[in-house]
């Protein structure tokens, strides 16, 4: 057998590399053109057709990368959700900063792996520098540390995992890493508000404690945890012989943007011998705003904090971090492998504090962003965004066909169609109308808005993220929604 060795054409090789340069240029040109011509959040191609066209792609005969880029552009990019469009406004799904996108280019081409220093010499120090910067911003103190994660889900899981292991050691010097769950694990409880993110339950399940270990505490009208009820819940659980070990506080609930009274929650947790974790995936970013940072007061006393950079820090997916107040707690994750992170290694191996092994160099995105955009600029983005959200809410309040469901706390607006629109429709038919409306706006490509429930009622939601949005974007959006609503009613 003879090998024809021109395989280097497939790799981003060292040395003169025309194939790589050409493909990169072609891709960038395609994206530029797409962005220039785009005029809707989504192409409007019927989902069944889109699926059929994607399934029809045949891998049996390769074509040139040039063709593949062209076809990818025509089929995939053109039918992608355009997060930059002002009417893509459903989720905590951000348009990324240019600095973050170009950092991705470095990240991809260099392909550093964050587990050990010998795979990521400069990258290891970059990640540690950003982590140190974060610990400083959140004033976590001398013993603080952190690690980059794939996002809020992984950060919440890690925070609760460290809490579980810390508690078992406090309780009975039980080492979960070595011996698995302690015999009292069925009594262990995590406490959070009924507006907390579902990843608290998911974490509990992954941690072997089961979703039943999560106890929900009611929230007040603003969606913040009722701190008296929290204290009462802890007392009752203890009186029943159960073991509350972690309290999760929300710094920005996904729907309402509610920020719990962090200082009180952390104090209650501490007095009860519980770990305090702050889920700051949405709202922890406010720490960079001089105007709004006081709303996070108490975050500096938490045992762990989840921060999500692919939300209000405008980073490409994925990018998040977990910060902890006392780095000694990372020891419960430490496992030495002879081939990777030997005991006594002098150079730092970030795998020592991560649940991942091979890991992306996402920290570069924040590194380049902080240098190119600046910390102060973020504060201005948030001040503008939160004020714009209030103006959008007022606009909805004054509109005869819409009804505001609650005063915005962060950058979401929850609203419904007005009772005038409801007319003779039953509550169920009216809910159905909201659902149909959202789906129709999505599949036609006109607007991407969210649907959720408030007090059992179906409501529509805008999530404002981009500081490039203006009030006039919402005049147009509300017009589109009104127009589609009236068309739906008239065809009934
Ligand atoms: C988005 C979000 C999460 C989950 O984070 P991912 O980055 O999507 O994994 C957790 N908590 C809150 C409050 C969120 O908004």
pLDDT in tens, 372-391: 999 999 999 999 999 999 99
**Which of 151, 196, 249, 252 for a ligand 1 pocket mutation test, highest count of atoms within 8 Å of Cβ?**
151
Confidence of residue 479 (pLDDT cuts 50, 70, 90): very high
Confidence of residue 122 (pLDDT cuts 50, 70, 90): very high
From the centroid of its chain, how far is CA 218? 24
Nearest-atom index, ligand 1, CA of 280: 13
Q: Does the CB atom of residue 308 touch ligand 1 within 6 A?
A: yes
CA 152–ligand 1 middle distance (angstroms): 4
pLDDT value at residue 1: 62
Angle, CA of 363, 369 and 373, to the nearest 5°: 160
Q: Ligand 1, atom 3: nearest CA belongs to which residue?
A: 152
Q: Does the CB atom of residue 152 touch ligand 1 within 6 A?
A: yes
pLDDT value at residue 278: 98
Q: Does the CB atom of residue 197 touch ligand 1 within 6 A?
A: yes
Q: Does the CB atom of residue 279 touch ligand 1 within 6 A?
A: yes
Q: Ligand 1, atom 6: nearest CA belongs to which residue?
A: 152
Confidence of residue 5 (pLDDT cuts 50, 70, 90): confident
CA 108–ligand 1 middle distance (angstroms): 24
pLDDT tens profile 335-368: 888 889 998 899 999 999 999 999 999 999 999 9
Rg of the chain on CA atoms, in Å:
25
pLDDT at 99 over 70: yes
Q: Domains (ranges, CATH) in the chain? A: 17-81 (1.20.1650.10), 105-373 (3.40.640.10), 375-491 (3.90.1150.10)
Q: Does the CB atom of residue 309 touch ligand 1 within 6 A?
A: no
Question: What's the pTM?
Answer: 0.97
Take residue 427 and report the two structure tokens written for it: 């509550």
pLDDT at 77 over 70: yes
Confidence of residue 119 (pLDDT cuts 50, 70, 90): very high
CA 153–ligand 1 middle distance (angstroms): 6
Q: Does the CB atom of residue 92 touch ligand 1 within 6 A?
A: yes
Dihedral of CA atoms 318, 324, 327, 328 in degrees, nearest 10, equals -120
pLDDT tens profile 430-448: 999 999 999 999 999 999 9
Nearest-atom index, ligand 1, CA of 250: 13
Confidence of residue 8 (pLDDT cuts 50, 70, 90): confident
Give the mean pLDDT of 252-263.
97
6 pairs with which residues across the strands? none
pLDDT value at residue 492: 62
Q: Ligand 1, atom 10: nearest CA belongs to which residue?
A: 152
pLDDT value at residue 160: 98
Which strands form 450-454's sheet, in the order they lie side by side?
402-404, 412-417, 457-463, 450-454
Give the mean pLDDT of 205-218.
98
Tell me which DSSP letter residue 187 carries. Answer: G
Give the mean pLDDT of 189-201.
98
CA 32–ligand 1 middle distance (angstroms): 30
The whole-chain average pLDDT of the chain stands at 96
CA 251–ligand 1 middle distance (angstroms): 11
């Amino acid at each position: 057998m003879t090998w024809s060795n021109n395989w280097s054409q497939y790799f981003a090789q060292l040395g003169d590399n025309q194939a790589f340069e050409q493909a990169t240029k072609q891709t960038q040109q395609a994206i530029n053109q797409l962005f220039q011509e785009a005029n809707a959040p989504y192409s409007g191609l019927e989902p069944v057709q889109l699926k059929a066209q994607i399934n029809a792609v045949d891998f049996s005969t390769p074509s040139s990368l040039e063709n593949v880029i062209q076809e990818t552009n025509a089929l995939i990019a053109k039918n992608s959700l355009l997060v930059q469009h002002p009417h893509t406004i459903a989720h905590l799904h951000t348009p990324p900063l240019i600095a973050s996108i170009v950092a991705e280019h470095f990240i991809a081409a260099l392909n550093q792996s964050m587990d050990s220093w010998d795979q990521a010499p400069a990258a290891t120090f970059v990640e540690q520098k950003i982590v140190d910067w974060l610990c400083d911003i959140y004033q976590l103190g001398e013993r603080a540390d952190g690690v980059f994660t794939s996002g809020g889900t992984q950060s919440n899981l890690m925070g609760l995992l460290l809490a579980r292991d810390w508690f078992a050691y406090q309780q009975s010097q039980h080492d979960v890493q070595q011996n698995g769950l302690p015999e009292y694990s069925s009594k262990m409880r995590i406490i959070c508000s009924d507006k907390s993110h579902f990843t608290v339950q998911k974490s509990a399940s992954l941690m072997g404690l089961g979703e039943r270990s999560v106890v929900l505490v009611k929230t007040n009208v603003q969606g913040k945890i009722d701190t008296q009820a929290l204290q009462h819940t802890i007392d009752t659980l203890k009186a029943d012989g159960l073991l509350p070990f972690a309290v999760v506080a929300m710094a920005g609930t996904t729907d309402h943007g509610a920020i719990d009274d962090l200082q009180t929650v952390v104090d209650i947790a501490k007095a009860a011998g519980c770990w305090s974790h702050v889920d700051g995936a949405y709202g922890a970013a406010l720490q960079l705003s001089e105007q709004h940072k006081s709303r996070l007061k108490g975050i500096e006393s938490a045992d762990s904090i989840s921060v999500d950079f692919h939300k209000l820090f405008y980073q490409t997916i994925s990018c998040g971090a977990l910060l902890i107040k006392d780095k000694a707690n990372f020891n419960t994750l430490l496992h030495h492998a002879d081939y990777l992170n030997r005991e006594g290694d002098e150079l730092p191996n970030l795998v020592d504090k991560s649940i991942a092994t091979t890991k992306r160099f996402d920290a570069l995105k924040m590194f380049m962003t902080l240098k190119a955009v600046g910390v102060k600029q973020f504060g201005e983005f948030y001040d503008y965004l939160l004020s714009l959200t209030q103006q959008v809410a007022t606009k909805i309040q004054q509109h005869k066909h819409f009804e505001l469901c609650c005063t915005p706390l962060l950058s979401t607006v929850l609203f419904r169609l007005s009772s005038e629109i409801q007319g003779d429709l039953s509550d169920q038919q009216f809910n159905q109308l909201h659902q149909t409306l959202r789906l129709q706006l999505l599949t036609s490509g006109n607007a991407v808005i969210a649907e959720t429930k408030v007090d059992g009622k179906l409501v529509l939601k805008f999530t404002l993220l981009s500081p490039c949005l203006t009030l006039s974007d919402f005049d147009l959006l509300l017009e589109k929604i009104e127009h589609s609503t009236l068309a739906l009613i008239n065809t009934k």
